[in-house]
Structure formats: structure tokens, C-alpha cells
Structure 1
Amino acid sequence: MEGHGNLERYVKWRKFKSNLILFFTFLTALYGLVWLVWIITDVTIKGFSNLSLDLLLKDPTPPGVEGGGLKHAFVGHLIITSLAVVLGVPIGIAAGVFFTEYGRYSRFVSLLRDLTDSIVSLPSIIVGTFIYAVMVKPVGHFFALSGSVSLALLMLPVIAITTAQMLKMVPDSLREAAYALGAYKWQVIKDVSLSVAKRGILTGVILGIARITGETAPLLFTSFNNNFTTYNIFEPMASLTVTIFVYVMGPYDDWHRKAWAASLILTIGTLMFFILAKILVRAKK
């Protein structure tokens, strides 16, 4: 009877600890949600009231003069991000294929995989300073292509890890069946592994793009900024994030209004990427 009583007290104590941890976890989640809702609401209210076609279609006016828009920043951000996608997506997918299809049982590849996992949490400003040291400083001036390279490095590990995980979920029996039919390894990877895992890989690509759309720090060290619309990737180029940073820190109310509107557009764009990724994940299930 005494042993049964001790067991009952132990079970009650375990339940109490479990409920206590769940309570604190709930409070932590609630704390984060409150700030998230507050930020999104503030950006939506202040940004929506300042939206206009001029913001998208006109170049900025001289400092202190009201009017104009942020066409230079939207164009520059699109160019820099698109180049980053072109650079980062193929390399990221190739790295994921290498991790899973060629080096699944290799210790060296396992080490590379661990390094890739650690790069995911690497602060973006460190990537920016690295690209500044190896690309910008030798050239002697900022330029847009270096900004694209820094963003590509940020999205690459996200895509590589997602691709590797999706390929691991492909049953080995499918690969063995393809080999039994006489397929070469590259054919098995292309027509079997990638074909089965393509939806999950696409989700990783979307998450990687969403990862870089709101980055500011790497671009401050690489593409820097420009007050005019330019399409030359070997010259400094404006980006939406850096322009928002400059306008928020500026002394003019007109700059602040444009920064709120641009922040809302950037937030909506990033949110759409995450929603699309969620839809793809649910469709996969």
C-alpha cells in the first residue's frame, strides 16, 4: 500500500510539472504573438494610408522635397533578389542532392552537412562583411552583384537542407527498381528522386526566397544604395530594405510615410511566400 501511495504522489508530481511547463510555454507563445500582432497591425494601419501608385512608379525627389516615389528601390530589390535566386537555388538543390544521393554514408559529407546546418543560424551581417572583404574591397566600390551573392549564401543552406531531407524521404525501393531497369545514377536522381520530392524541394526554395527578401545588413556592406534607378549590377544599387532603413532614420516626415508604405508591401510579399509554402506542404500531405 505504501508503494502504491508513493507511485500516486510521483504521478501527481509529474503531472504538475508537465502542466507548469505547458503554462509557461503558453505564456511565451502568447508574448510573442502579442508583439507580432502589434507590429503587423501598426505596419498595416500606417502603411496602407500612405500607399499610392506614385510610390511604385516615380523616382525619389531631392531630400526635403515632398512627392516622388521609391521606384529605384523596388526595381533594385527585384534585380538583386532575382540574381540571388538564380545563383542560390541551383547550388542549393545540387548540394542537397550531393548530401543524400552521393554522400549519405560518408563522414566527410556528414561534416559538410553539419556545417551547412550551422550556417542556417549564422547572422546575416557576418555574411555581408565576408562578401565585402572578398568582393567589394578588392574592386574598390559597392556593386549590386555582390549583394546578390551575399543573399544567395543566406538562402543556399535553407534550400540544401530542405532538399536533402525531402530526398531522404524517397523510398530506396524506388531507386532500386530504377537501377534494376538499367537506369544510370543521374537518371535515377533526375527521374525518380527529384521527381518524387519536387514539391517539398519547391517549398524549401520558397522558404529560402522568403528568408532573403527582408534582409538589410548584407546589402549595407555590398550593394549599398543609390538615389536613382539603375540596372547596372556592377554599380551601387538601391534596395527596398536599405531604403526603408535610410528613410526611417531620416528627418523628413515624407520619408517616414514612404517607409511605412514600403514596409507594408515588403511584409505582404514575405507573408505570401510563407503562405504559398504552407499550401504546398499541405498539398503534399
Structure 2
Amino acid sequence: MAVESPSRLSVTDARQLRTKSLPAWTAAVVVVAAIAVSFVLINLTGAGGMVLTGVVAAILFVAFMGIAATIVEGSRSARNRMATVLIYGAFVLALLPLLSVVWTLITKGSKRLDGNFFQTSMNNIGAFDEKGGAYHAIVGTLEQAGIATLITVPLGILGAIYIVEYGRGFLANAIRFFVDVMTGIPSIVAGLFVLSFWVFTITPLWNDGKAAYSGFAAALSLSVLMLPTVVRSTEEMLRLVPGALREGSYALGVPKWKTITSIVLPTALPGIVTGVMLAVARAAGETAPVLLVAGGLNSINFNVFSGNQSSLSLFIFEQAGVASEFAPGRAWTAALTLVVLVLVLTVAAKLLARRNKLAR
């Protein structure tokens, strides 16, 4: 029995196999058209300035792109292109405040970026003195944030390990609940707690019955704020470690504690470092706890366990309220210094975490 072969389809026009699409230069043309139309409309009506012009131009760009895509590509492709435009627009909209903050810090904070700012304090500096720096505040920030990190990181990581690896039942749920509650505690509450417990109750025991401010008390209050962030971030990173890694280690006869220290923690290390640096960044930017329990100081104090001490955040707060034409420049430069300091510490911690082979 003969089998007839199917006849080949003849294509008279090769363009039938191609889907129509907008040219690559369409977006640029639409952007120019949207800006031009928005500029003309706003100027004719006198409704606003450059900000309103930009908002109207963004709306017109989305509308023009949707119309052009519908005409050329069809409604289905137009919806896809519109969704893409909205996603990119949301990204740019979220990025604009960050870029604005960075630009403001750089332009206003670079005016006092000199040796005097980083080598001197505000001791004996009056309202009409142009000089004066934040050396004492930088020392205070590094010491307070460093001690708070040394206190918080071991406690936070051990707490997260207990919750994920060992904790079951009421106790683990109670720890999670209190960690969640502590996450929303205002910074001034942490400062008041350390003020009443450490400054007014503990320090008088060895200070002839007198309460005493210190940078260490500020570090304790900062550690209270850092602890929930470290615990929660570490807990989430430990839960992301595949269970197969643990099971393979147990199958080889490795004890549970060694599996955690040699397999689980190194695998989750990059995420843990990120959580720790977020906590450090929050601690370095807190003002109320330092003001309550460290008191602030215009001169240099390297002894974190005795005497008042300042920090960069407190220095910014103080300079912002000083009636001097030179104070705002110091405040902006201190803010830029604080941001750069946190950035440097974060990059250094990330580079150290990348050296771990299991985390790659």
C-alpha cells in the first residue's frame, strides 16, 4: 500500500514568519517626544517646574510606548512592553532618592574634607572659629560600634543556631517572639534601659556610689539594637542552607556541632556578614542612646570605660543645632564620613567573606 508523502507548505512571503517589532531606536525617540510635549504643556499652563515636567514626561512616555507597541506589535506584545517599562520605571524611581542623598552628601560634605577636620576635635572651638573637626567623634564611633559588634555577633549567631538547629517547642517560639518584638524597639528605649540598669545601678558599685557615663554604656545600648537584626538575618541564612549538606555530613559520622561549625556556618557566611553589617550601620547612625548614656564630649577620650564620649551621629546632631555659619559644613562632612566609614567596613567584610571556599 503506497503512502502519500505530505505536501510541503509553500511560503509566498518570508515576512509571514517574522513578528513585527518596534525598532531599537523607538525608546529614545519616544523619550525625546515625551519630554518635549511635557515641557510645552507645563510651560504653556504654568502649572509647575522641572519636577512636574519630569513626572508628566514619564507618564507620557509610558502612554506613547503603549500606543506605538499596540499599533506595530499588537495588544499582547504591547502589554508585555508596558510591564517592562513600568518595572524599569519603578527601579529608577526607587533609585532617585538614594542618588539624591549621595549627591547632597558629596556636594555639601566635601567642603570640610581637610586634614584639620580629621586631626582635631571641637575642644576650645567657638562659634566664630572656622576650624575644628570630628576626630573625637570618629574615635568614639569606632570604639562604641566595635565593642557592640564584639558583644552582639557571638550572642546573635549562637541564638540563631539554637533556634534553627536545636530549638523546638515553647522556648524556641518564645525566643522568636521576643526577637521580633525587639526589632521594633525605638532606640531611645534601649538607651533608657541601659541608663537605668548600667549607669544608675551597676556603675555606682565601683564608682563610690556615683553614676558615670561612658562609651561602654553606649556600646551596650547599641548592642541591644543590633541583636535582633543579627539573630533574624542569621536565622534566615541558616534556613537557606540545603538539608542535604547536613545529611551528608551526618552520614559520614560527623558530629552535629562540627557539622554546624564546618559546613552550615561557612555556607551561610556571606548572608550572615550582610546581616551583621546592616546591624553595624544602624548602630553607627544612632544618636539617642549615645546622648543618654555617653553624654557627649567635645574633646578626645580614648578610654571607652570611663568618662563622657561622643560619636559621629551625636556630633552631627550637635553641629546641626549650633548657631554658627561654620557648623553646617562640619555636620555635612561628618555625615559623609559616617557613610564612607560604614561603606568601607561593609566592603572589607564582604571581601573577607568571599575568601571562604564553601561560600562561593
The residue type paired with residue 56 of structure 1 is F
Kept after mapping to 2: 8 A contact 1:224/1:242: no
The corresponding residue for 1:109 is 172
Higher helix proportion: 1
1:135 to 193, 198, 221: 198
Amino acid at match of 1:71: Y
Superposed displacement of residue 227, structure 1: 1.4
Report Cα offsets for 1:58-79 as digits up to 9, x if no partner: 1224322332322111111111
Shift of 1:29: 8.6
**Counterpart position of 1:14:** none
Q: What's the offset of the Cα at 1:56?
A: 0.6
Contact (CA 8 Å) 1:124, 1:218: kept in 2 or not? Answer: yes
1:188 aligns with 2:251: no
Q: Deviations over 1:75-127 (max 9, x none)?
A: 11111111111111111111111110111x32320221122123222221111
Call closer, same or farther: CA 1:226–1:153 in 2, change over 3 Å.
same
Between 266-275 and 64-73, the greater mean CA deviation after superposition? 266-275
Q: Distance in 2 between matches of 1:209 and 1:126?
A: 18
CA RMSD of aligned residues (A): 2.9
- Is 1:159 the counterpart of 2:230? The answer is yes
The answer for the alignment partner of 2:102 in structure 1 is 40
Query: TM-score under structure 1 normalisation?
Result: 0.81
Structure 1 residue 124 corresponds to structure 2 residue 187: yes
Q: Secondary structure at the match of 1:49?
A: helix
Cα deviation, residue 177, structure 1: 2.6
Q: Quick one: which amino acid aligns to residue 212 of structure 1?
A: A
CA contact (8 A) 1:131 1:146 kept: yes
Secondary structure at the counterpart of residue 128 of structure 1: helix
The alignment status of 1:150 with 2:198, answered yes or no, reads no
1:217 aligned partner, one-letter code: A
Unaligned regions of 5+ residues in structure 1, if any?
Answer: 1-18
2:12 maps to none
User: How much has 1:271 moved relative to structure 2?
Assistant: 4.3
Residues 156 and 227, structure 2, Cα contact 8 Å, conserved in 1: yes
Residues 204-232 of structure 1 deviation map (CA, whole Å, 9 limit, x = unaligned): 22222122121111111111211111111
Task: Name the aligned partner's letter for residue 312 of structure 2.
Answer: L
Give the Cα separation in 2 of the matches to 1:178 and 1:74. Answer: 45
Measure the CA separation in 2 of the matches of 1:183 and 1:27: 48
What's the counterpart of residue 299 of structure 2? 228
What's the counterpart of residue 69 of structure 1?
133
Match of 2:316 among 236, 244, 249: 244
Contact 2:315/2:334, CA 8 A, preserved across alignment: no
Match of 1:8 in 2: none
Larger Cα Rg: Structure 1 or Structure 2?
Answer: 2
Equivalent position SS for 1:253: coil
Residue number in structure 1 paired with 2:143:
79
Provide the residue aligned with 1:264 in structure 2.
336
CA distance in 1, matches of 2:259, 2:239: 14
User: In 2, distance between residues paired with 1:275 and 1:215?
Assistant: 21
CA distance in 1, matches of 2:228, 2:92: 27
Aligned twin of 2:245? 174
SS at match of 2:125: coil
